[in-house]
Amino acid sequence: MHIIYSPDHHLHRGQYEFFRGELVPCFEKPERADYVFKAVSESGIGAITAPEHFGIEPIERVHAPRYLRFLERAWDSWAALGNTKDAIPAVWPIRGFRSDVEPDSFIAQLGMYSFDSGTPFTSGSWRAARLGADIALTAQKRIAEGARSAFALSRPPGHHAGADFLGGYCFINNAAVAAQAFIDQGAQRVAILDVDYHHGNGTQSIFYERADVLFQSIHGDPKTEYPFYLGHADETGAGAGAGFNRNYPLPAGSSNERWFEALDAASTRIASYAPDALVVSLGVDTYVGDPISKFQLDRPEYLRLGAHIGRFGLPTLFVLEGGYAVEDIGVNVAHVLKGFRDVAG
């Protein structure tokens, strides 16, 4: 397995986020990737290499140029107002407000391109997010060149980022960028399997009206679990994408067997779709010890998950998403990759 990594993910280090009405230290922190790097290094799963650089064009295939321009200049705009602490939005253009006209005020822009108050923008956020896309694209390139599998070991995560919005700690949707790269290079069909505890609302919204990318997500029920508002079972795609989106929302506290039943259902759909490649949004915040999630998977279940994915027999790209039990995230991710390797080679 090819593992793509750069220590420059440390450029993004949020200090605080709003959580349940309080300003608390960020759950999404550099130590997450540090622990994963340590675990995969010690496991011997595969060679670890640095990313190549691909420019902005592959990212613009997924994200609106206007949004990317905002991300690129956001910190400078914030600092020009005399600020030195992280930028967190405080206003949003909710229903009835316009979002087609970009305001001149940076405060208003930040709210227009965000959907929550838990995703601080720091001096290094843009550079780290760009690097994350390069890591995903490098991993995708390895598979396009013939590799059986690759792991994009990056942060911040990406699956909550839509074509023109950030949130859920996410700025650029790395899984979507990689899936689009497969399509642009000749793949007819790509499947995305999102196993993060939280629904990949950004990925769903990007591909919702398309048939060339199948999206399958197993997650906490959006009636009670973040990011809310999207991820219900009746969201099955629209237009050309009708039938190519499937959500498997599960109640908080669902048993492991119920979770794997949902995985079986998603796997059946993926197999019938017969994709040319599989992208896995690998969140391990389904872990029993995760501080902001409510499923019960433990270390043996991550080996089981990896083996299950390996049995697809597909070229597979893993992209790191969530997982906030920081000292356990490395072992859990390594278990998924080990389980996959033991089956797929």
Peptide bond into 89 cis (omega under 30): no
Spatial distance between the Cα atoms of 111 and 90, rounded to a whole number of angstroms: 7
Closest CA relative to residue 180, chosen from 239, 240, 235, 140: 140
Q: Could you tell me which of 256, 129, 252 has the C-alpha nearest to residue 202?
A: 129
Q: Which of 197, 236, 235 is nearest to 218 (CA)?
A: 197
CB atoms within 10 A of CB 81: 10
Listed residue (210, 218, 278) closest to 250, CA to CA? 218
Question: What pLDDT does residue 21 have?
Answer: 85
CB atoms within 10 A of CB 249: 20
Taking the model in full, what pTM does it have? 0.97
Please give the structure tokens belonging to residue 171: 């700025």
Which among 9, 159, 160, 308 is annotated as catalytic? 160
Element (H, E) at 152: strand 149-153
Q: Which two tokens stand for residue 308?
A: 């299950």
Can 335 be counted among the known catalytic residues?
Answer: no
Residues 2, 49: contact at Cβ < 8 Å? yes
Q: pLDDT tens digits for 221-250?
A: 999 999 999 999 999 999 999 999 999 999
Residue 86 has what DSSP assignment?
Answer: P
What does the pLDDT profile of the chain (345 residues) look like in tens digits? 999 999 999 999 999 998 888 899 999 999 999 999 999 999 999 999 999 999 999 999 999 999 999 999 999 999 999 999 999 999 999 999 999 999 999 999 999 999 999 999 999 999 999 999 999 999 999 999 999 999 999 999 999 999 999 999 999 999 999 999 999 999 999 999 999 999 999 999 999 999 999 999 999 999 999 999 999 999 999 999 999 999 999 999 999 999 999 999 999 999 999 999 999 999 999 999 999 999 999 999 999 999 999 999 999 999 999 999 999 999 999 999 999 999 998
Q: Using alpha carbons, select from 148, 210, 155, 156 the residue that is nearest to residue 179.
A: 210
* Measured distance CA(318)–CA(149) in Å, rounded: 8
Q: Are 300 and 256 in contact (CB under 8 A)?
A: no
pLDDT on residue 20: 85
Sorted by where each begins, the domain ranges of the chain are 2-344
**Residue pair 153/36 in contact by the 8 Å Cβ criterion:** yes
| Contact present, 59 and 180 (Cβ < 8 Å) | no
Phi, psi at residue 258, to the nearest 5°? -65, -40
Helices 125-144, 174-184: axis angle to 10 degrees equals 40
Q: 2-344, what's its fold?
A: Arginase; Chain A (3.40.800)
DSSP designation for 87: B
